[in-house]
Amino acid sequence: MHRAKPILNKFYEYMETLRVTNNYSILRGKLEIPKTYPCIVILMGADPSELFNINTTRQKLSIFIDIYNSSTSADLDGEILDIRELVHNLIMNDAKHGFDYVFGTEFIGQDAPDYVGAGQDYAASTRLEFVVTYLSEINTQTI
């Protein structure tokens, strides 16, 4: 199994917690507009490598967390930020995610939200980016 796969699986596990505790929809690797809100989508980004030593590369795996919400509330931004806080706390609670080959995780930031709506119904989406730095052998990326 590629070393990035358990990391992605761990992010999915974190978001599954929000499905259970907050009744959020969770999608993995989907680029479609969700049918229920709030919704969190987990997407793999780039995973560039650089030489760490003669036998090892340092990988920097980007993981995107897209947040979608629809509300009649005047505080749609506040609701998005509340979801962001939950996501951030789950991911950054253990920056190594229990893996000995992971150096750490960095929160890169949040993109500007996209808004749609009219009248009292509004929807917004935004993207969070996290970068997980991990080591991989040059000859194999298998765990």
Phi and psi for 30 in degrees, rounded to 5? Answer: -110, 140
Please, what are the domains in the chain? 4-137 (3.30.2000.10)
In contact, 62 and 8? CB cutoff 8 Å: no
Per-residue pLDDT of 82-131, as tens digits, reads 999 999 999 999 999 999 999 999 999 999 999 988 766 789 999 999 99
Q: In 13-51, which positions are buried (b, 16+ CB within 10 angstroms) versus exposed (e)? A: ebbbebeeeeebbbbeeeeeebeebbbbbbbbeebebee
User: Could you please report the per-residue DSSP string of 57-108?
Assistant: EEEEEEEEEEEEEEESSTTHHHHHHHHHHHHHHHHHTTTTTT-TTEEEEEEE
Per-residue pLDDT of 42-82, as tens digits, reads 999 999 999 999 999 999 999 999 999 998 767 889 999 99
Is the pLDDT confidence value at 1 over 90?
no
In contact, 63 and 132? CB cutoff 8 Å: yes
Q: pTM above the 0.85 mark?
A: yes
- Grade residue 25 by pLDDT with cuts at 50, 70 and 90: very high
**pLDDT score at 51:** 92
Spatial separation of the C-alpha atoms in residues 133 and 105, rounded to whole Å:
6
**pLDDT score at 119:** 63
